[in-house]
C-alpha cells in the first residue's frame, strides 16, 4: 500500500509541474509570406488563408515542449497582387490536384523561453519532404508569437519555377517563407 501511495504522490508532483495548453491562430494578427527572385525583379506573395494549432507542455521552468502542431495553407489564397503571377503560382503548385500545403509535425527538437525547433513533413504540389523549422518564440499574457524564415527549393518538391513572357521572365528556384503566427489560448 505504501508503494502505491508513493507512486501516486510522485505522479501527482510530476504532473503538477507541467501543464498542456492549446493555442489557435489569430489570423488578423498573423502573416505568411513567400519571397523569391526572378530574372527581372524580386517578388513577394502573401498567403491569405492558413491555419496553425499548437499544443505546448509547459514546465514551471522556462523550457517548453511541443506536443502537437498542425499547419495548413490554401494554395488559391497565395496572392502577389499580379494576376498572371498568381495564376502561374497556382499552376506550379498544381492547385487543381493539391489545393493545400500541409506541414505534419514529427518531432520536437528544442524549446526555450525564446525559440523552438521542430521537424516534420512538408507537402505541396504532390511531393513531400522532411524539413526542420526554427522559429523565435515570444510569450505574452495574450498568447504566443512564433516567427521566423525558412528557405526552400522548389525543385525539392518537383515544382518547376514559373516562367512568363515567353520564357524571358524566370523565377529563381529558391524561395524564402517568412512567418509570424500569433496564437491565443483555445
Answer with the residue of higher pLDDT: 113 or 172: 172
- In this prediction the pTM is 0.85
| DSSP letter (8 states) at residue 161 | P
- Delineate the domains of the chain, giving CATH numbers in brackets: 19-185 (2.40.128.110)
Would you state the pLDDT for residue 114?
85
Measured CA to CA, the distance from residue 91 to residue 86 in angstroms comes to 9
Q: What's the pLDDT score for residue 175? A: 96
Q: Please, is 49 exposed, middle or buried when counting C-beta atoms within 10 Å of its C-beta (0-12, 13-18, 19+)?
A: middle
Region 166-179 average pLDDT: 86
Q: Please check the confidence at residue 17 and state whether its pLDDT lies above 90.
A: no
Amino acid at each position: 500500500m505504501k508503494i502505491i501511495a508513493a507512486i501516486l504522490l510522485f505522479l501527482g508532483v510530476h504532473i503538477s509541474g507541467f501543464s498542456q495548453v492549446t493555442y489557435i491562430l489569430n489570423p488578423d494578427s498573423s502573416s505568411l509570406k513567400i519571397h523569391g527572385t526572378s530574372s527581372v525583379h524580386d517578388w513577394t506573395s502573401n498567403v491569405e488563408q492558413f491555419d496553425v494549432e499548437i499544443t505546448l507542455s509547459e514546465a514551471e521552468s522556462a523550457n517548453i515542449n511541443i506536443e502537437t502542431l498542425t499547419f495548413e495553407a490554401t494554395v488559391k489564397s497565395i496572392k502577389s497582387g499580379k494576376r498572371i503571377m498568381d495564376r502561374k503560382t497556382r499552376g506550379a503548385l498544381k492547385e487543381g490536384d493539391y489545393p493545400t500545403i500541409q506541414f505534419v509535425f514529427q518531432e520536437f527538437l528544442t524549446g526555450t523561453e525564446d525559440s523552438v525547433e521542430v521537424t516534420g513533413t512538408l507537402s505541396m504540389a504532390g511531393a513531400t519532404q522532411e524539413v526542420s523549422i526554427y522559429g523565435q518564440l515570444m510569450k505574452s499574457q495574450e498568447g504566443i508569437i512564433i516567427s521566423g524564415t525558412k528557405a526552400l527549393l522548389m525543385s525539392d518538391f518537383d515544382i518547376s519555377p514559373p516562367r512568363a513572357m515567353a520564357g524571358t521572365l524566370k523565377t529563381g528556384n529558391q524561395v524564402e517563407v517568412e512567418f509570424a503566427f500569433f496564437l491565443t489560448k483555445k
